[in-house]
Amino acid sequence: MLGRKRIGHNLVLSSLIFCTFGSPTSSAHVSDSSGYGPNNRGVWVDGFDIFSDYTNNSVIPPGKLVEYEFTLSQEWIFPDGYPKLGQVVNGQYPGPTVEANWGDTIRVTVHNNFTEDYNGTAIHWHGIRQYQTNWLDGVPGVTQCPSKPLDTQIYEFRAMQYGTSWYHGHLSLQYSNGLYGPIVIHGPSSANWDEDLGPWLLSDWYHADVFGLEWIGETTFLAALPDSIVLNGKGTFQDKGELYEVVVSKNKKYKIGLINTSTLLTYNFWIDGHNLTIIQTDFVPIEPYTVPVLNIGIGQRYEFIIETNADLSKGNNFWVNAQYCAEPELIPLSNKIGVIRYDAADTSAPYTPPNPYLHFGCADPDPKNLVPVVKQNVGTRVNGIGPEDYLKLGHQAYPNASDFPGKVRKWIIQETPQFVDWQKPSLWQYATSDNVTLPPEAVPFILDFETEEWVYFVITSNYTLLPTDIPRNLTPSVHPMHLHGHDFNILAQGEGMIPDEPELNFVNPARRDVIDIDIGGWAVIAFQINNPGAWLFHCHIAFHSSAGLSLQFIEQPSKIKPLLKSAGILPEFEDRCKAWSEWYNTVNIPKNAVIEDSGI
């Protein structure tokens, strides 16, 4: 955690190129000859369609260069009517939409103007695989040194996937103070729709500076609770603020891209009077399936379609709902987070039916229902997955692991809470040395395997400790686990302790990049070795990752140095690290604005 001065300032903001956030996303820019339209959303340009294998990096449509310019600053914002000095992009919360087509090259120039709080920064492009471009993943201490105040960094990458996602600050808790925005990459869909309502960013919101709240979860058994829930940057607190609203026409199909951008909460999400037809999970198009309610963990994304054929006998307006998945009564926030109106002239409050989902739980949708359109079977593993290999999520007393509960508690996934060194990123060390030994607190997990080989992992929050395990405690919590650099396949997922011989699905299993490990649950995931670099794997509850619940996969370490050398990025990498080290040592340390958490 960084020490932060609470002083606002005004900046001349750089203009966003290409699009602005706030209105429904425009339809994709495809040629008329493709036939793409409301009755044929499965086609795309130049012979590409929903069945084109986007996992094959050579199967990418031709594209153009799309440019954006971001200025990061502290500004006073009022998402729920209550003032807060936030960390924002281009003076707005949420930040502007990064919008492109499948196959485009996206270039974002980021200016760090966090001059009042001395914050370095790095922007992570959530879910973007960054194939062969690990240095653009935006994780300080892992893939880069932070960009210091008044510095500029350019992120440029190819849109090899399509769908809805988000970008966010990955330095400590910056995104929890407002530093994020949506990504929309247009492409084909697995079901037809008439109009696109664009990205819906669903977030818990804190009035206090979140940098000052992280310690609560480390010294008690309950994290700091949010003050409100906001949808696309709008919410209410007491008698202040306003809800996000959208007006629709009857008997149409609308596509929505839902993103959980929260700090703490996994949600049950539903829209009164409407079903949700799910067509994409994270960046993976799936066979459509319909549900009345959807669980969404932090970092997860779903594209779904609603049909506006609701029964209007109780009015023209309907609540959009989201509530904490475990025990909504523990977090007394209104589940009414938005309104869908069939008649713009009717501004009355919607009818409120009884809540049917008070104890719906936190489990992800059954992976058997998340069937990828582009099929991929899973090969034989090359690593061990016995109980000694499990990734065991737990609370650890600190600094003495045997003294639980202790005065301070950290989260661990291996043998120690993660703590990265912003001045010596893992990727830089592998790019500049042939003999690298990262310290234990970096929590490196070496994947020194051949390209196209498969690795499996068991992730569990319900286990019996082995004699060789570092002590830890099974603290009840749902854990949205996010993998950078890959989609993973879900071979199995469940509640309770993992069976001795779980039934694993190797035939086109569900794929995504965030999985919710349910309270006291487990999962078995797999991914293919094909993307050299240092890839973070972490809980996306910001307080948990801040307290160490993460590791980094060092994938094909011998290939990292030649990859970065051939890309020609080492001089820029070195310059940024030198600039950051000088700033941190001469400005941050004297002002006690220093790292106090994991750093990610």
- Confidence grade of residue 24 (pLDDT, cut at 50, 70, 90): very low
Average pLDDT over residues 136-147: 99
pLDDT tens column, 480-511 = 999 999 999 999 999 999 999 999 999 999 99
Spell out a b/e string for 525-560, using b for 16 or more CB atoms within 10 Å of the CB, else e: bbbbbbbbbbbbbbbbbbbbbbbbbbbbbbbbbebb
Domain 200-369 CATH superfamily:
Cupredoxins -  blue copper proteins (2.60.40.420)
Q: Quick one: pLDDT band at residue 13, thresholds 50, 70, 90?
A: very low
What pTM was estimated for this model as a whole? 0.94
User: For domain 32-194+580-588, which CATH number applies: 1.10.1780.10, 3.40.50.10420, 3.40.50.970, 2.60.40.420?
Assistant: 2.60.40.420
The single residue listed with the structure tokens 């199909």 is 253
Of the pLDDT bands very low, low, confident and very high (cuts 50, 70, 90), residue 29 is: low
Tokens of 302: 């779903």
pLDDT of residue 467: 85
Q: Which two three-digit tokens encode residue 384?
A: 């061990």
Q: Which CATH class is domain 387-567?
A: mainly beta
Cα dist. 226→202, 206, 210, 263, 306 in Å?
13, 5, 10, 9, 29
CA distance 598 to 538: 11
- As a whole number, mean pLDDT of residues 507-526 equals 98
Q: Fold identical between 32-194+580-588 and 387-567? A: yes
Both tokens of 177, joined, read: 């103070």
Q: d(Cα 452, Cα 298) in Å, to the nearest integer?
A: 29
Could you tell me the residue ranges of all domains in the chain? 32-194+580-588, 200-369, 387-567
- Total residues found in the chain within this entry: 600
Taking 70 as the threshold, does the pLDDT of residue 26 lie above it?
no
Of the candidates 144, 56, 134, 127, the residue with the CA atom closest to the CA atom of residue 556: 134
> Using 50, 70 and 90 to split pLDDT, how confident is the model at 21?
very low
Q: How many CB atoms lie within 10 A of CB 88?
A: 25
Strand order of the sheet with strand 152-158?
A: 84-89, 65-77, 105-112, 152-158
Q: Which residues pair with 534 in a beta bridge?
A: 554
Are the CB atoms for 412 and 539 separated by under 8 Å? no
- Cα–Cα distance between 578 and 62 in angstroms, integer? 37
Structure tokens at 471: 């002590």
pLDDT at 30: 53
The answer to whether the peptide bond before residue 425 is cis (omega within 30 degrees of 0) is: no
pLDDT digits (tens, 9 = 90+) for 376-404: 999 999 999 999 999 999 988 877 777 76
Per-residue pLDDT averaged across 452-477, rounded? 88
Report yes or no: 475 and 412 within 8 Å, Cβ to Cβ: no
The pLDDT tens digits for 184-215 are: 999 999 999 999 999 999 999 999 999 999 88
pLDDT more than 90, % of the chain: 83
According to the model, what pLDDT value does residue 221 have? 73
d(CA 31, CA 64): 14
Helix (H) or strand (E) segment spanning residue 427 = helix 426-432
Q: Strand 284-291's sheet: what is its strand order?
A: 228-231, 195-205, 253-260, 301-307, 276-281, 284-291
Return mean pLDDT, the chain: 92
pLDDT (0 to 100) of residue 20: 35
CA nearest neighbour of 292 among 343, 362, 384, 356: 356
Please state, in angstroms and rounded to a whole number, the distance separating the CA atoms of residues 554 and 533: 6
Of 26-40, 48-62, 259-273, 298-312, the least confident: 26-40
Q: Are 86 and 75 in contact (CB under 8 A)?
A: yes
Q: Which residue has the tokens 């290939």?
A: 559
Q: How far is CA 365 from CA 355, 370, 493, 516, in A?
A: 20, 8, 10, 10
pLDDT of residue 220: 80
Asked whether the predicted pLDDT for residue 258 surpasses 90, the reply is: yes
Q: What is the mean pLDDT of residues 59-63?
A: 92
Is pLDDT at 223 greater than 60 in this prediction? yes
pLDDT in tens, 86-139: 999 999 999 999 999 999 999 999 999 999 889 999 999 999 999 999 999 999
**How far is it, in rounded angstroms, from Cα 462 to Cα 477?**
11
pLDDT of residue 446: 98
Pair 485, 448: CB distance under 8 Å: no
pLDDT level of residue 1 (50, 70, 90 thresholds): very low
Residue 4: its pLDDT value, please?
32
Task: Summarize the confidence of residues 324-340 as an average pLDDT.
Answer: 92
The residues that bridge with 550 in the sheet, in sequence order, are: 538
| pLDDT of amino acid 503 | 96
Please give the Cα distance from 139 to 122 (Å, whole number): 6
Specify burial of residue 322 (Cβ count, 10 A radius: 0-12, 13-18, 19+).
Answer: buried
Distance of CA 540 to the CA centre of its chain: 7
Under 8 Å between Cβ of 490 and 502: no
